[in-house]
Structure 1
Amino acid sequence: MAQLHKFRPKYFCFVFAALAFSIAITCKTQAHGLFTPEIYSTLTSDTIPVRKNNLRDSVTRNDSISRSTDTLRDSLQRSDTLPPTPKIDTFSIRMSKDTLDAPVEYEAEDSAVLLVKDKMFILYGKTKTIYKDVTLTAPKVLINQETGIVTAYNSRDSLGNVATRARFQQGTEQNFESDTITYNFKTQRGLTFNTYTKQQDMWVQANLIKKVNANTTFAKHVIMTTCDYDEPHFGFVSSKGKFINNKIAITGPIHPEFEGVPIPIYLPFGLFPLNPGRHSGILAPTFEVNEQYGIGLINGGYYHVLNDYVDVTLRGNIYSYGGWMVNLTPTYRRRYHYYGSLNISLIRNKQNFKGDPDFSVNKTFNISWNHSVDSKAKPGTNFGANVNFGSSKYNSYISDNPIRNVTNTQQSSINYSRTWTGTTPMNFTMSANQSQNSVNHLMNLTLPDAGFNISTFYPFQRKEVIGSPKWYEKIGLGYTVSARNQLSFYDTASNTISSLLDTLEWGAQHRFPISLSLPPLGKFIVSPSISYEETWLTHRLRRQWNPVAGKVDTLSNEKGFFTDRRMSFSLGVNTNIYGTLAFKKSRLMAIRHVIRPSFSLNYTPNLSKGKYDVIQVDTFGHISALPQFVNNRIFTGYSYGRFGGISFGVDNNLEMKWRSKKDTGDAAIKKIRLIDGFGFQSGYNFLLDSFKLQPFNLYLRSTLFEKLSLSAQGLLDPYLYDTLGRQTKRYAWSDGRVNIGQLRSGSISMSTQFQSKPRDPKQGTNPNAQIGRHINDPALMADEQRLQDYMRRNPAEFVDFNIPWSIGLSYSLSFFKQFDRETKKFKTSVTSSASFNNSFSLTPKWNFTTNGFYDFKTKQLTTFTMSISRDMHCWQMAINVTPIGNYRYFNISISPKSSILQDLRINRTRTFVNY
């Protein structure tokens, strides 16, 4: 039997004390485990991903215990009056003073080696290292973790040549390639060896480059060039240089080299602007020899930038005979608003020497203004100006511009237009125009010239159409008005205000068209219309027959307000007729002929009956209606008499379908247009006593084989003429004659363009885009001579060397028959001419271009120009010769392509003039 011990109080106290001690030890040990900090230091990230804990509590929220309602509240749930004290972690890591302030990202295609003892990290293969805005790519990179210095090396092939260079890039402004690059991440300084870099349009090669900060570098044994070859064709060599990004490059003593051969031309220093955009500076002149003006320096001057929107160019020419020329050209531009330019030109022309029989001194001037508004500035509104005003002999005294030398007119215009869109579109235009003839000194001013147009609208159309529309809802109305005011006078000093006002003439013309759109009636389309026109005039000429003198005399020439009106009614019908001829078992699959006959019934009452003087016009007693509004220069009156008849015509189209052997399926079937259109138009007036049938207008247009453009037109007269050249009432086919009429006039024109396939189809050069870019430049628009001079001296931008050859030919012939009273026969006067424009690239770098104009009537080559262009990679050469004409011209120019060295050119120009 087990022995029972007697209970003692000291045993109870011992057990209680042991239990309390064990609980205290357990709580303290758990607290230290929760707040023990852990520090990790790894070179690479852990490759084992952290697995998310997806275990869910087995006790659901729908436990019955949570739903029990206890009426007694736990005393522990009462709010504590003391706020909880936040816990602050006192543990922190102290950073070293020489630690980088940003992470270094790196990658290597081959391998990465860490040398822990040497604190070095080596990358092999295609490496890429990024620190802030610095990106370094190289075949091999060495990173010193202690000093923060990175060194990049190039790679070489089996022959010892450089295969891949190390490349350094900081932001978007600095980029260079070197054999070796050493860069300090902490100080942002570095050294490079055998470096190639580009500063704007300038390539820089240096044996040693020291980078002192993000924007400044120093170079030793430097070559400045615009040639992108490793061994440049030319360059400027200096022992030292300093480069400030996007600002300027400054070098020590400098001299040029060509193909590695030094040229003994030394300068104490060199300045190369590197800042993009505009900057003020001197414009270097070029040398010229002119037969009229002597030896000269041309296009020299100064360019000055006033602000972000305005700049001014001053250019001038000076010649040994004493002549000079000055051009002042301010230009202005505001993006998305407007741009333009003003050009003021003064010329003092002195030809030959004093005492010579052809010695002369002339002073002329010219002012031109070009302005254009961007369409995005104010949609629906447009304003533009092209103003040219100056002395009548200004064009003849411009050197090196044969086109302007023979131009006899100067024209100016200022235009404004406004368009309103909506249910009823409207348009308003206003312009001021001026033309000046340098031969007869006649000047015409038209201001203002206004017009207003309301497009066709349908006033009876319902806003909400339910069901089919009614016929009257298709009635359309429109309105057009144009008004002009014109002055014509001669450019003389004797003009007064009263004499100018005497030449004042104004006029207006209104037109109200009414149309009705009907649905097709079967195969026919019917279009009825009504039109009313009214013209306002200021002059009326009255004439009468003088039986004593045997001629028509002027009775009066009146000024005032006069009107003339015309109304016409028309009912037009047209349709299409198709005819197809199919071929089986042939590459020619089908030929389709489309006939488009048109017929209209017209009636025009004679509202101008009192506006003509029906009088005798010759001693034979012939009566004719002479118009009274013949002296009006702006608008004239309407034709005399009624018209009640028909107008008819036939248009034809011919095309074929061809199966090609080269392709299969649908791609093998091609449609070829043989004739785009040919036909005739005429009319018949039932209300006339004679000459009811109107002449036939014949036409033909076609594009053969997508190469040859052909167009022809003629006027066929169906009446016979007597021995005095007068038209009779008899038709040409009367009396059983096989004759449809006499071809009184006609013309024919042909043009074609052939060119070879490009040498490199992927190159895709387009010289026309370059031409359009420079023509739209307002600075060049203000001076056409400078634009043409730019085209001559920069042939590489306008000659497509990728096209081996191209040939362009055009021919035109026109004739008309006129009665000769001496021979009493009709004589035919014929004029014909041909023009050509050919280009041949003899080699991928040589181009030969010719263009000219030949007159078959005079059997002379009136104009001829040939040019030779040579693309010398970073240089260009152009030779232009105009050996024929009154203004003969010769020019040779050799210059770099880059605009930064555009003044470094060799230019030789000779001009000869025949009087």
Structure 2
Amino acid sequence: MIYCGKFTYKYLLTGISLVILLVILQQSTNAAEKNHKFCISLTQKDTSAPTSPNKASRGTIIRDSTLKKDTINKPGKDSTVKVIDTFNVKLSKDSLEGPVEYSATDSMVLDIPGKKLYLYNEANIKYKDIDLKAGKAELDQQSQVLTATYLSDTSGKKIGRPVFVQGENNLTSDTIIYNSKTQKGLTIGSNSVQGELYVHSEKSKKVSKDVFYAQNNVFTTCNYDEPHFAFRAKKVKFISKKLAVSGFTRPEFEGVPLPIGLPWGIYPLTQGRHSGLLPPQFSVNQQFGLGLEGLGYYKVLNDNFDVTVRGDIYSYGGWRLYLTPSYRKRYRYNGGINFNIVHTKVAFKGDPDYQNQKNFSFSWFHNVDSKARPGTTFSANVNFATSKYNQYIASNPFQAFNNSLNSSISYSKRWEGKPFFLTVTANHSQNTNTKLVSVSLPDIGFSMSTIYPFQPKEYAGAKKWYYNFGIGYNGSFRSQVNFYDTAFNLRQLIDTFQWGASHQFPIQLQLPSLGPFQVAPQISFEQKWYAQQFIRQWNAATNHVDTIIHKGFYTGEQMSFGIGVSTALFGKKQFGKNSRIQAIRHVIRPSFGLSYKPDLSKNDWYETQVTKTGEKFRFSKYDGSIFGAYSEGKFGGINFTLDNNLEMKVRNRKDTGENAIKKVSLIDGFGFSTGYNLMADSFQLSTFNLYARSNLFQKINITAGATIDPYEQDTTGRRINKYVWKDKLSIGRFVGGNIAVSTSIRSKPKDANKEKQNQDANKKFNESRGAQSLDEQYRELEMVRNNPAQFADFNIPWNLNLSYALSLYRTFKQDYSGYKTTLTQSVTFNGDFNLTPKWKMGINGVYDISGSKLQFLTGFVSRDLHCWQMSINITPIGYTRSFNITINPKSGILRDLRINRSRYFYDFR
């Protein structure tokens, strides 16, 4: 019994010891497994996760009895959307939401019990959409807080300042503390870019993904480490991609604060269109007084519609209101309306130059995209204003010289696969000086391109000569009314209303080539419809010619027959193989035509007295009608044209490849044309029309033309039926001519890539101008012309444009007593050059050689101030003399922060 008890006692103690040992081992295993889970959650890149204590996560697959096959087509992956890597299985509460990628060049310390990761030197942590780089970084798994700061070298210099990137937000700081779960954080000594603003904040607190508050801020649009200018504000609220709002703001230049400030500031950070206040600019004007110009509001109603409201107000009591709604639908249409009301008050009541007027203007433009309805186009550009609207525009005095307004509405339709084309237009023109308004409504045109009725759709064998017989049609109808805007009444509209129509039937036949000759006969018939006849009679009581109008329906016809023959002759002169000039080629293209035109309008012409001395002049009954009158007399004669072209081949001795020889055009074209009327009883020979054109060295453009009359003239300047060469050696009498020479030269750009960027930007700008009215485009071009300093291109060191124009012509005097000769010569020049890499000077002018005076001259000086620019524009002569000095930031967000001083011509009276 005793041995049995001892045996049982020993084994009992042994069993208890084994149980205790197993328990200790199990606890050690659980602790190691728990710590191992933390390592896995930091290092794993796949979507696996530590197992959960529930049964479902321990290898058991639970099937969903409600799961069925998805019949909906799943969309493919969008490569433009950034995917954030996260775990897609159930995780423990203290686990991170996604994998973490980390690296460091010095060392990495993993605190398993504390669940923390430490990285030293060039630390990089990537977690979800966060990318953090810093000299030293820490990641706490339990709180999901990232902490980063810099390292210091032996001299105390900061190394590896933390750079925090989340989406499009980029932040560089001395210290960053960020909670990835709450998306809140704190930074110290941070630098960031918000839209066009470079912001430095001593402290900033991120309260959500897109909103943070900053303390003791310095912000600017200058990208230098020590900016040329900046604004200081104690408190600023930033809403990413929307706006920034600051309290009291003080500007400073070169670190020197100015004794001025703004109580608050709003800075838009939104890219693209967004609603907002349009700030005004101050102006000083002797006629209108002190003023605020451009104050208004821009409202985006939806993706397709917006509206702008602006206003000007002046101390003398004048004001102006602009209402500009615009609309656009991509690939469909775009347009806008511009309605202006102006209340003008010049000086004070009682002053000798006091004026008080009210005027308005209205414009509408609309364009339909060609892709909306292929084959159909519609566009409108309507402009209307009171006659004195342009006279007093304070912000643009040059507009006072625009005394005409034009409008047009057009619709066109082309039928696919058919030869028909229809146009319907309405036109309006208004002269603000004479107050004459002309309206053409409607103006209808219908045409049929040439069809070949005898040509089968399919044929075998040789092509018959009559297959080329073609006929076409061109028709137009137009009605027109003229009236004065100061004397508008219905009776006047009826009295001035007239209409007309024109019909043309061209018939042609292209015959087979006769060796080197091309032969083409043609027939044309034309008829015009008139609503009025104009009979001119001499009034002996007033010593003037009176015009009597007869209303009704009248027609006029004209027919012509002809045949044309053309060919080409080639001549070539070759030189030696080693010669720089390899060959010169001369091409002569003569064309010869026989035509006959019967005098179907002889009854429409008459002769009447036009002067006191009994001088008579021939008129047509339809002179002054919409489509004009047919020429008098029959014609049966010869037409001759001779065209020439001269070019050469030149060897490039520096190039031995395929491009060693290039073609150079010496004269693009030169020749003459004339005719002879076999059926006329006098003046059978037509005038000689000479012309020449060339573009020498692809740099100098030359065009010239002249008219030579073979007949003499009497003492009053009238032609007489006598050849000039009958009494002297001459080819004819010079009637008129013109010569134009122009060239444009420029230096190579300093930066070729920047030049390409400028060209691309100009291309986009020109494409965008299609959505503007013509009036807006003219205003933009006028602004560029009058303010060249603001558009100076420092990438082009110098640029020069020169043109010379000469014109000599003879016109009939108003009293019908003879001809007068007028000679005009002018030189137009414009150019600019860099005085230094940051200073540019330019000039633009027109010199009248005939009048020996400078008609127009403007000069500009521009200074590139890095983040600012200064421009000086001067017009020292002429009625438009003025000067303008502007200093403003380059950034668009601060474009209204400018210093401007302008004086115009009326300030010098």
Matches within 5 A, 1:338-737: 338-422=333-417, 424-493=418-487, 495-542=488-535, 557-584=549-576, 585-613=578-606, 626-632=619-625, 634-735=626-727, 737=728
1:804/1:531 CA distance change after superposition, 3 Å = same
Residue aligning to 2:858? 865
In 2, Cα distance between equivalents of 1:780 and 1:410: 11
In 1, Cα distance between equivalents of 2:779 and 2:243: 32
TM-score, scaled relative to structure 1: 0.83
Q: Does 1:101 align with 2:97?
A: yes
1:776/1:152 CA distance change after superposition, 3 Å = farther
In 1, Cα distance between equivalents of 2:814 and 2:787: 56
Residue aligning to 2:732? 741
Which is further off, 787-796 or 884-893? 787-796
- CA drift of 1:244 comes to 1.9
- 1:22-59 per-residue CA deviation (whole Å, 9 max, x = no partner) reads xxxxxxxxxxxxxxxxx99878799xxxxxxxxxxxxx
Conservation of the 8 A alpha-carbon contact between 2:518 and 2:565: yes
In 2, Cα distance between equivalents of 1:629 and 1:434: 23
Identity %: 48
- CA drift of 1:131 comes to 2.5
Query: Which residue of 785, 795, 812 maps to 1:802?
Result: 795
Residue aligning to 2:310? 315
Note the residue ranges of structure 1 that are not aligned, 5 or more in a row: 1-38, 47-85
1:326/1:779 CA distance change after superposition, 3 Å = farther
1:45/1:615 CA distance change after superposition, 3 Å = closer
Please give the secondary structure, in 2, of the residue aligned with 1:762: helix
Query: Which residue of 722, 731, 746 maps to 1:755?
Result: 746
Please give the secondary structure, in 1, of the residue aligned with 2:163: strand
1:695/1:218 CA distance change after superposition, 3 Å = same
- 1:33-92 per-residue CA deviation (whole Å, 9 max, x = no partner) reads xxxxxx99878799xxxxxxxxxxxxxxxxxxxxxxxxxxxxxxxxxxxxxxx9994499
1:249/1:780 CA distance change after superposition, 3 Å = farther
- CA drift of 1:848 comes to 1.8
Q: Does 1:208 align with 2:208?
A: no
Conservation of the 8 A alpha-carbon contact between 1:780 and 1:786: no
In 1, Cα distance between equivalents of 2:476 and 2:619: 26
- CA drift of 1:813 comes to 1.1
1:611/1:419 CA distance change after superposition, 3 Å = same
Matches within 5 A, 1:216-231: 216-231=211-226
1:281/1:631 CA distance change after superposition, 3 Å = same
Conservation of the 8 A alpha-carbon contact between 2:805 and 2:825: yes
Question: Relative CO higher for 1 or 2, CA cutoff 8 Å, sep ≥ 6?
Answer: 1
- CA drift of 1:696 comes to 0.8
Which is further off, 291-300 or 116-125? 116-125
Matches within 5 A, 1:139-158: 142-144=138-140, 148-152=144-148
Conservation of the 8 A alpha-carbon contact between 1:683 and 1:694: yes
Note the residue ranges of structure 2 that are not aligned, 5 or more in a row: 1-35, 46-55, 63-88
In 2, Cα distance between equivalents of 1:545 and 1:786: 51
- CA drift of 1:655 comes to 1.4
Conservation of the 8 A alpha-carbon contact between 2:788 and 2:860: no
In 2, Cα distance between equivalents of 1:157 and 1:753: 59
Question: What amino acid does structure 2 have at the position aligned with 1:457?
Answer: I
Residue aligning to 1:830? 823
- CA drift of 1:255 comes to 1.8
1:243/1:94 CA distance change after superposition, 3 Å = closer
Query: Which residue of 132, 137, 142 maps to 1:136?
Result: 132
Conservation of the 8 A alpha-carbon contact between 1:794 and 1:897: no
Residue aligning to 1:843? 836
In 1, Cα distance between equivalents of 2:788 and 2:684: 62
- CA drift of 1:462 comes to 1.9
Residue aligning to 2:14? none
- CA drift of 1:464 comes to 2.4
Please give the secondary structure, in 2, of the residue aligned with 1:473: helix
Please give the secondary structure, in 1, of the residue aligned with 2:492: helix
1:845/1:660 CA distance change after superposition, 3 Å = same
- CA drift of 1:651 comes to 0.9
- CA drift of 1:518 comes to 3.3
1:659/1:193 CA distance change after superposition, 3 Å = farther
Conservation of the 8 A alpha-carbon contact between 2:135 and 2:159: no
Which is further off, 406-415 or 466-475? 466-475
Conservation of the 8 A alpha-carbon contact between 1:242 and 1:249: yes
Q: Does 1:255 align with 2:250?
A: yes
Conservation of the 8 A alpha-carbon contact between 1:847 and 1:868: yes
Residue aligning to 2:33? none
Please give the secondary structure, in 2, of the residue aligned with 1:843: coil
Question: What amino acid does structure 1 have at the position aligned with 2:825?
Answer: S
Question: What amino acid does structure 1 have at the position aligned with 2:742?
Answer: S
Q: Which one has a bigger Cα radius of gyration?
A: 1
Please give the secondary structure, in 2, of the residue aligned with 1:502: helix
1:359/1:189 CA distance change after superposition, 3 Å = closer
Conservation of the 8 A alpha-carbon contact between 2:642 and 2:671: yes
Query: Which residue of 266, 270, 273 maps to 2:268?
Result: 273
In 2, Cα distance between equivalents of 1:710 and 1:794: 27
Conservation of the 8 A alpha-carbon contact between 1:655 and 1:672: yes
Please give the secondary structure, in 2, of the residue aligned with 1:885: coil
In 2, Cα distance between equivalents of 1:820 and 1:544: 19
Query: Which residue of 875, 890, 906 maps to 2:868?
Result: 875
1:873/1:471 CA distance change after superposition, 3 Å = same
In 2, Cα distance between equivalents of 1:746 and 1:738: 21
TM-score, scaled relative to structure 2: 0.83
In 2, Cα distance between equivalents of 1:156 and 1:418: 75
1:702/1:116 CA distance change after superposition, 3 Å = same
Please give the secondary structure, in 1, of the residue aligned with 2:388: coil
1:156/1:885 CA distance change after superposition, 3 Å = farther
Query: Which residue of 892, 896, 907 maps to 1:903?
Result: 896
- CA drift of 1:492 comes to 2.1
Please give the secondary structure, in 1, of the residue aligned with 2:511: coil
**RMSD of aligned residue pairs (Cα, Å):** 3.7
Query: Which residue of 282, 285, 296 maps to 2:280?
Result: 285
- 1:718-750 per-residue CA deviation (whole Å, 9 max, x = no partner) reads 112244533233322225x32100111111111
In 2, Cα distance between equivalents of 1:322 and 1:87: 82
Q: Does 1:330 align with 2:325?
A: yes
Please give the secondary structure, in 1, of the residue aligned with 2:905: strand
Residue aligning to 2:880? 887
In 2, Cα distance between equivalents of 1:779 and 1:508: 31
Question: What amino acid does structure 1 have at the position aligned with 2:201?
Answer: A
Question: What amino acid does structure 2 have at the position aligned with 1:98?
Answer: D
Question: What amino acid does structure 1 have at the position aligned with 2:805?
Answer: S
Conservation of the 8 A alpha-carbon contact between 1:140 and 1:154: yes
1:667/1:193 CA distance change after superposition, 3 Å = farther
- CA drift of 1:504 comes to 0.4
Please give the secondary structure, in 2, of the residue aligned with 1:378: coil
In 1, Cα distance between equivalents of 2:765 and 2:584: 42
